[in-house]
Amino acid sequence: MAFVGSGQSCYNGVNLRSRRRIIVAHYPVDLHVHTTASDGTLTPTEVIELAVAEGVQVIGIADHDTVGGVAEALAAGARLGVEVVPAVELSIQNRIEKDFVELHLLGYGIDHTNPDFVAVLDRVVQARIEQKIAQIKVLQRDGIDVPVEEVFALARGVPGRPHIAQVVLARNPGRFPNKAALFREYLAEGGKAYVPRRFSLRLAEAVDLVVQAGGVPVLAHPGAYPGVSDPAAMVRRARDEAGIRGLEVAYPYDKNRPHYGASPQQVAALISQFADLADSLGLLKTGGSDFHGAGKNIALGEQGLTLEEFACFKSQWPNPKPQSGSVF
């Protein structure tokens, strides 16, 4: 934990509070990006090509429970001059009594080739596949047309609820007014087709896994857990009991529950509030868009970091590994 709040000069100077919106409407660093390896709609190469077109210089590939897109993104990044940060977004088992409900843990700078790391992810993905099949069976039992094979063909990589939703909405026109209604009735926690996974990581286990793979464990989007009643207390517990070392401070809260439709001022206030929280707890600050391609109405680089903020974060990684094509 020596690098946390280690007093390096960048730490206090970089606060994410008074940032002007970048003129081109994109941040140059987007550390939270999904690809076809999970539920994004662009391949890793397409993401990097889009980054070049949009002037985003650093991309964190953070797919759900898989590093399957990282190697391709690194190769494309080296070719096209985009710095790629190998990452993952781990889904965490529910611990309702601790307010740890469906948390997401980001791991940055992990060695995506570490065999022990990949072996645990494979177990998580296997449980995820079983969970998705069970969820589809509930929908089918209710007379909804949703073939398992079609969902998995659409997913290509790791299947997620958005893949199920896409097939349900396409094959059952008129049954649900929109995706949100389908999630509410069936797929969201508490919905009829919500099924827990047989194996998933607890927060402390996920933190250890990321650290052992050489990465920095960062709690994702602290304000985007509709089931968490007290985000600040939850973040403190996640640090004290599980050892998270960073907090994803910048995030497009206006495009996600429970702050959907928030004004730019309200989003800035949330970001400021989480920046304060990170500082008071000695946590590193990150940011990203949660870009999913066409899967969400979010642009690449819509939220993220300035180059200075990223340099600060990176200077405090436990094992910084400069890559070719680095902008620093």
Closer residue to ligand AMP in complex, CB, 26/161: 161
- Identify which range of 31-39, 143-151, 189-197, 267-275 contacts Zn ion by CB under 5 A: 31-39
DSSP 201-247: B-HHHHHHHHHHTT-EEEE--TT--TT-S-HHHHHHHIIIII---EE
User: How many angstroms separate the CA atoms of 295 and 292, rounded?
Assistant: 5
Sign of CA dihedral 274, 276, 279, 280: negative
Partner touching 279 among Zn ion, Fe ion, ligand AMP, none, CB below 5 to 8 Å by kind:
none
Pick from 68, 157, 160, 217 the residue near ligand AMP by CB under 6 A. Answer: 160
Instruction: Dig out the tokens for 310 from the structure.
Output: 């990223």
Residue 180 contact among Fe ion, Zn ion, ligand AMP, none, beta carbon within 5 to 8 Å by kind: ligand AMP
Out of 27, 183, 251, 310, the only residue in the binding site for ligand AMP (CB under 6 A) is: 183
In angstroms, rounded to a whole number, what is the distance separating the alpha carbons of residues 10 and 213?
Answer: 26
111 binds ligand AMP (CB under 6 A): no
CB of 52 to Fe ion, least distance (A): 22
Task: Kindly tell me which residue out of 39, 72, 279, 309 binds ligand AMP, with binding defined by CB under 6 A.
Answer: 39
Rounded-to-integer distance, Cα 97 and Cα 202, Å? 13
- How near is the Cβ of 235 to ligand AMP at its closest, in Å? 20
Is residue 33 within 8 A of residue 288, CB to CB? The reply is yes
Collapsed DSSP state (helix, strand, coil) of residue 33: strand
269 is written with which tokens?
């206030």
CB of 50 to Fe ion, least distance (A): 17
Nearer Cβ to ligand AMP (14/67): 67
- Residue 104 contact among Zn ion, Fe ion, ligand AMP, none, beta carbon within 5 to 8 Å by kind: Fe ion
Residue 321 interacting entry, from Fe ion, ligand AMP, Zn ion, none, C-beta within 5 to 8 Å by type: none
Of 221-280, which residues contact ligand AMP (CB under 6 A)?
257
CA 168 to chain centre: 24
Q: Which stretch binds Zn ion (CB under 5 A): 33-41, 95-103, 298-306, 310-318?
A: 33-41
**Structural contact between residues 186 and 138, judged by C-beta atoms closer than 8 angstroms:** yes
Taking the complex as a whole, the smallest distance from the CB of residue 290 to ligand AMP amounts, in Å, to: 7
Q: Which of residues 36-95 bind Zn ion (CB under 5 A)?
A: 39
CA distances from 216 to 40, 206, 228 (A): 23, 11, 23
Query: From residue 87, how far is each of 91, 173, 213, 229 by CA, in Å?
Result: 13, 37, 11, 28
Q: Please report how close the Cβ of residue 290 comes to Fe ion at its closest, in angstroms.
A: 4
Judged by CB under 6 A, the number of residues near ligand AMP is 11
Tell me which DSSP letter residue 282 carries.
Answer: T
Closest distance between Zn ion and the C-beta of residue 105, in Å? 14
Among 30, 63, 111, 290, binds Fe ion (CB under 5 A): 290
Q: How far is CA 202 from CA 95, 126, 241, in A?
A: 8, 16, 11
> Whose Cβ is closer to ligand AMP: residue 183's or residue 251's?
183
Rg (CA), the chain: 19
Nearest residue to Fe ion, using CB? 104
Site string for Fe ion, 85-104 (x = CB under 5 A): ----x--------------x
Enumerate binding residues for ligand AMP (CB under 6 A): 39, 64, 91, 160-162, 179-180, 183, 188, 257
